[in-house]
Amino acid sequence: MRVVSEKSVEAAVLGGKTKVAIVGASGYAGEELVRLLLAHPHVDLVTATSRQFAGKTLAEIFPRFAHVEKANALRFSEADPKELARNAEIIFLALPHGLAAEFAKPLLSASARVIDLSADFRLRDAQIYKEFYGHDHPAPDLLGQAVYGLPEIYRDQIRDAKLVACPGCYPTSILIPLRPLIRRKAIERKTILVTSLSGVTGAGRKVETAYLFSECNESVRPYGVPKHRHLSEIEQELSILAGEKIMIQFTPHLVPVNRGIATTIYAGIAGGVVAVEPAVLFSGAYGQEPFVRLLGDERLPDTKNVVGTNFIDIAWRIDKRTGRLIVMSAIDNIVKGASGQAIQCFNLMRGFPETAGLL
């Protein structure tokens, strides 16, 4: 086999690359970061850490990258914050919550910019973190400088952020559809109810009985009822958008697919009357967004159309019988719900085209 150095032509045209590192590169989000960053035209992946696989090349652990020169050259290393900060300009953290914050501290002190995929910096209030995650926040002093990494809401702040907290997969699928409805007061804010269906990679590469093939295959089940952790960030962001405290109902379900989240959102139409057509609201909000695809009121989203991509597909229906607006979305939980969104943030932070490496 001929090992290839990808995208070299394009890169030559476009100039200098940014050195990046991935900490915790062996989980599903980490592996997807590897996939996307190896092919990113403006990236030089200099470090990928994994305690479990230290010493092995990326290609050995992820055979799907066996043809990529860099995947054969680069070996997983143990994570050493000092060395990471010395070698990379931007560092992606794909670690469990709690651990991520501990890594972020020395990296930020050493002037690296950090894109964190865990839940550690998504909440502004350390108390709410403790309520939902069950332990004290490991670095409450950093919460103030973190930017919630949802470009459709915080694009400008992300550009200059030192610390980006990428949203959870469910929140991404919920906040993007709800934002224009909240902002334009199109819905009764107290009536929001959300059901989501997620593929099994959503649980991470966790080696637990519950996620074995034969436990998930031919199985459909709700979980995290009634207070899933992601509620904390969803309600925080909706409350900020609304300018008042918002509480919602949210139930996730596990379904036997590898990837994909299908979310269905219900809310009473404000005042019982459709003041502005949803099509107008959504087009106004997202007509220029590169990763939002509006399906309108005749088609329905299907996770299979977004798997492997950074898109969110959004459709809606007005239910005149019940006076509710129903908005449905589909994303790939590992791409738009995690690693793709992280790279979208990265592109903003570095001034690259927002879609670089993502189309």
**Footprint on residues 80-119 left by a second copy (CB under 8 A):** none
Q: Are strands 146-148 and 193-198 parallel, antiparallel or unpaired?
A: unpaired
Per-residue binder mask for a second copy (CB under 8 A), 263-302, x = binder = -x-x-------------------xxxxxxxxxx---xxxx
Is residue 15 within the footprint of a second copy (CB under 8 A)? no
* One of 93, 100, 166, 307 touching a second copy (CB under 8 A): 307
B/e letters for 247-281, b = 16+ CB within 10 Å, e = fewer, are ebebebebbebebbbbbbbbbbbbeeeeeeebeeb
Q: Closer to a second copy at the Cβ: 148 or 311? A: 311
Size of the site for a second copy (CB under 8 A): 88
Q: Which tokens go with 113?
A: 């910019």
Please provide residue 195's backbone torsions phi and psi, each rounded to the nearest 5 degrees: -115, 130
- Binding flag, residue 322, a second copy (CB under 8 A): yes
Please say whether the dihedral angle defined by the alpha carbons of residues 148, 142, 30 and 18, taken in this order, is positive or negative: positive
Query: The tokens 């100039």 sit on which residue?
Result: 15
Residue 109 or 225 having the CB closest to a second copy? 225
Asked if residues 73 and 48 have their Cβ atoms less than 8 Å apart, the reply is no
Bridge partners of 67?
none
The only residue of 200, 234, 238, 345 in contact with a second copy, by rule CB under 8 A: 200
Q: Give the nearer residue to a second copy in terms of CB position, either 139 or 343.
A: 343
Output 111 or 217, the one with its CB closest to a second copy.
Answer: 217
Q: 133 to 172, contacts with a second copy by CB under 8 A?
A: none
Q: Give the residue with the Cβ less far from a second copy, 44 or 60.
A: 60
d(CA 77, CA 293): 39
Q: List the beta strands (DSSP E) in 32-88.
A: 43-49
Spell out the residues 6+ positions from residue 76 whose beta carbon is closer than 8 angstroms to its own.
25, 26, 48, 49, 50, 53, 54, 55, 56, 57, 58, 61
Query: Where in 58-77 is the site for a second copy (CB under 8 A)?
Result: 63-64, 66-67
Please answer whether residues 88 and 48 qualify as being in contact, where contact means their C-beta atoms are separated by less than 8 angstroms: no
Taking phi over 0 as left and psi of -120 to 50 as alpha, with beta for the rest, 113 belongs to beta
In the region spanning residues 206 to 265, those forming contacts with a second copy, defined by CB under 8 A, are 206-209, 211-223, 225-227, 247-249, 251, 253, 255-262, 264
Query: Quick check: is 169 catalytic?
Result: yes
Closer residue to a second copy, CB minimum distance, 89 or 215: 215
> Residue 124 Cβ, how far from a second copy at the closest point, in Å?
19
Query: Binding segment for a second copy among 82-90, 92-100, 148-156, 198-206 (CB under 8 A)?
Result: 198-206
- Give 180's Cβ-side CA count (13 Å radius): 21
Q: Does 55 bind a second copy (CB under 8 A)?
A: no
Binding to a second copy by residue 306, rule CB under 8 A?
Answer: yes
Binding to a second copy in span 31-50, by CB under 8 A: none
DSSP letter, residue 83: H
What residues are annotated to the active site?
Answer: 169
